[in-house]
């Protein structure tokens, strides 16, 4: 049942009020401390405004395309995979996750912490309706999985928020404006052919410097926040560099691997895919990049669009099964994380459940596979100071932290620097920086300050979204720092390229 009555009207109390009261009675006051009290640090050089007013972005987001309409959906969850009670019960409310949760760090709000969100899931199961405010707390979660890393009780927050988001997408009537924006994103981003059609007009826009002039004149600030975020996060478009369908191994073949070329990666970062194929080939892999491959479904999965994600997953499984490969290599952290979840995503489908699980077991992040294989090609020196940024879907969701560092440290002369607060998300998080631009901006500013504090010459990561988010955050500070995907650094080293090939960009 959906009740579109005015906010707070009717016989149902606001779940968040109820939740807050109940939660406050259960959580000792000292555990409801502010972000700084729980250990979130203010990095050196952080601009004064970042985090200075807790709740600022929270309030702003509330007003971005989502006026609260008094919607209350009863029951909150239907019977199709609601967040599982046993997984909810694993949370012992200890609060160890709080200092690494980006939204809690920003606002110090219990309901914007992992523990608070799990509590909202629990009261939803117990009969509280799903209303605007409850959905806002779920939407504001970045899905970064920092809480999974931090949790000593092994709470599977990923499964909980995934199930919850599917319920929200199925049941909660978003505002027309919100629906229109999400429709634009999901009709465009997972489709490389549609994205490719945009390349021409976007290149023209970038070359004509219309955007720069419009920004200087303040015109872009007049756009709705989500559209202006889209404009600011647009990648610089170079030339297309397609990856051949088969790249033979240099020397004796050690593996035959399938390569996911991705949607955004393929169209906007083709040089990253080209570097990935070259590095894999240099280390003895025959690389198969099936021409007919589509989206892996990561964006849809992480946004709760279950049926769409399942359709993409089935197609990916069929494509790579047909390619007859030993493993499937992924160079985008969010995609790799989603593909490792196919077994769970297709668990109800008798035709695909086993195949999906077998497929997930084959998936490897690029750095994971390279370290597993060990280098075959010599690495040439690159005397560069590199700051390594752990993409959340690599570090937290896949537990891959050591491998990219090992791969980079194998390059002679490379000086690897750690970024403070590395566990806290940069604010990119799939489409989060588009749908929730204000908190994403605050998190980007925070990360940019920490990156600059390393004194590195080059920022390296493994996710296209993080690169765009951090480039934008640095631009806001009037700073430029060259950036590269880890594949490009390894490729430059294998080819014996000069440091300038990475730094002069």
Residues that bind ligand SF4 (CB under 6 A): 91-97, 100-103, 114-115, 117, 141-147, 150-151, 153, 155, 157
Q: What are phi and psi of 148, to 5 degrees?
A: -65, -40
Integer-rounded Cα radius of gyration of the chain: 23
Q: Could you give the residue ranges of the DSSP H alpha helices within 374-463?
A: 392-395, 402-409, 432-435, 437-452
Q: Which residues pair with 258 in a beta bridge?
A: 288, 328
Q: Which is nearer to ligand SF4, 112 or 132 (CB)?
A: 112
Q: Which is nearer to ligand SF4, 101 or 411 (CB)?
A: 101
Q: Which residues of 55-175 form beta strands (DSSP E)?
A: 72-73, 130-131
d(CA 393, CA 65): 27
Residue 304, SS3? coil
Is residue 415 within 8 A of residue 385, CB to CB? The reply is: yes
Is residue 442 within 8 A of residue 106, CB to CB? The reply is: yes
Q: How far is the CB of 72 from ligand SF4 (least distance, A)?
A: 23
Q: How far is the CB of 117 from ligand SF4 (least distance, A)?
A: 5
Q: How far is the CB of 321 from ligand SF4 (least distance, A)?
A: 32
Q: Which residues pair with 2 in a beta bridge?
A: 73
Q: Which is nearer to ligand SF4, 158 or 375 (CB)?
A: 158
Q: Hey, what are 77's tokens?
A: 């969850």
Q: How far is the CB of 33 from ligand SF4 (least distance, A)?
A: 13
Tally of CA atoms within 13 A in the half-sphere of 234 that contains its CB: 21
> Would strands 415-418 and 327-330 be described as parallel, antiparallel, or unpaired?
unpaired
Q: Hey, what are 227's tokens?
A: 């559209």
Q: DSSP assignment of 146-162, as one string? A: HHHHH-TT---HHHHHH
Q: Which is nearer to ligand SF4, 305 or 393 (CB)?
A: 393
Q: Hey, what are 284's tokens?
A: 């003895």
Q: Which is nearer to ligand SF4, 72 or 148 (CB)?
A: 148
Q: How far is the CB of 227 from ligand SF4 (least distance, A)?
A: 24
Q: Hey, what are 383's tokens?
A: 């005397």
Is residue 278 within 8 A of residue 491, CB to CB? The reply is: yes
| H helix or E strand, kind and range, residue 458 | strand 458-461
Residue 134, SS3? helix
Q: Which is nearer to ligand SF4, 143 or 258 (CB)?
A: 143
Q: How far is the CB of 339 from ligand SF4 (least distance, A)?
A: 19
Q: Which is nearer to ligand SF4, 138 or 342 (CB)?
A: 138
Q: How far is the CB of 189 from ligand SF4 (least distance, A)?
A: 21
Q: How far is the CB of 429 from ligand SF4 (least distance, A)?
A: 8
Q: How far is the CB of 22 from ligand SF4 (least distance, A)?
A: 15
d(CA 200, CA 323): 32
């Amino acid at each position: 049942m959906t009740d579109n009555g005015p906010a707070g009207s009717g016989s149902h109390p606001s779940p968040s009020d109820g939740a807050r009261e109940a939660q406050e009675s259960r959580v000792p006051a000292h555990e409801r401390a502010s972000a700084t009290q729980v250990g979130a640090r203010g990095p050196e050089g952080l601009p004064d405004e970042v985090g200075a007013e807790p709740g600022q972005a929270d309030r702003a987001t509330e007003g971005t395309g989502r006026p609260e309409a008094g919607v209350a959906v009863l029951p909150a969850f239907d019977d199709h995979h609601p967040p599982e009670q046993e997984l909810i019960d694993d949370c012992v409310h200890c609060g160890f996750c709080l200092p690494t949760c980006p939204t809690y760090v920003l606002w110090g709000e219990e309901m914007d912490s992992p523990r608070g969100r799990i509590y909202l899931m629990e009261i939803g199961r117990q009969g509280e309706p799903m209303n605007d405010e409850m959905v806002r707390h779920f939407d504001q979660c970045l899905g970064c999985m920092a809480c999974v890393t931090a949790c000593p009780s092994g709470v599977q927050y990923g499964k909980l928020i995934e199930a919850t988001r599917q319920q929200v997408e199925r049941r909660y009537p978003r505002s027309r404006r919100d629906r229109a924006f999400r429709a634009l994103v999901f009709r465009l981003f997972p489709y490389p052919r549609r994205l490719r059609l945009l390349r021409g007009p976007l290149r023209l826009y970038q070359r004509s410097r219309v955007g720069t002039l419009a920004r200087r004149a303040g015109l872009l600030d007049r756009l709705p926040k989500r559209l202006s975020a889209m404009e600011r996060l647009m990648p610089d478009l170079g030339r297309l560099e397609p990856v051949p369908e088969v790249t033979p191994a240099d020397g004796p073949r050690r593996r035959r691997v399938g390569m996911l070329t991705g949607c955004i990666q393929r169209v906007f970062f083709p040089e990253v895919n080209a570097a990935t194929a070259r590095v894999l080939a240099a280390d003895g892999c025959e690389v198969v990049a099936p021409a007919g491959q589509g989206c892996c479904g990561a964006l849809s999965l992480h946004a709760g669009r279950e049926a769409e994600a399942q359709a993409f997953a089935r197609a990916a499984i069929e494509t790579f099964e047909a390619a007859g490969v030993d493993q499937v290599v992924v160079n985008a952290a969010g995609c790799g994380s989603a593909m490792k979840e196919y077994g769970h995503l297709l668990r109800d489908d008798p035709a695909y459940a086993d195949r999906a699980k077998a497929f997930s077991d084959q998936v490897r992040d690029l750095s994971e596979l390279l370290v597993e294989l060990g280098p075959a090609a010599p690495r040439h020196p690159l005397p560069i100071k590199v700051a390594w940024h752990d993409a959340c879907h690599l570090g937290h969701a896949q537990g891959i932290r050591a491998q990219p560092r090992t791969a980079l440290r194998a390059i002679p002369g490379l000086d690897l620097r750690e970024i403070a607060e590395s566990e806290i998300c940069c604010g990119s998080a799939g489409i989060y920086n588009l749908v929730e631009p204000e908190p994403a901006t605050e998190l980007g500013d925070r990360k940019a300050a920490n990156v600059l504090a390393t004194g590195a010459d080059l920022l390296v990561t493994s996710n296209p979204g993080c690169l765009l988010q951090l480039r934008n955050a640095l631009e806001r500070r009037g700073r430029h720092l060259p950036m590269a995907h880890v594949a490009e650094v390894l490729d430059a080293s294998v080819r014996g390229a000069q440091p300038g090939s990475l730094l002069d960009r």
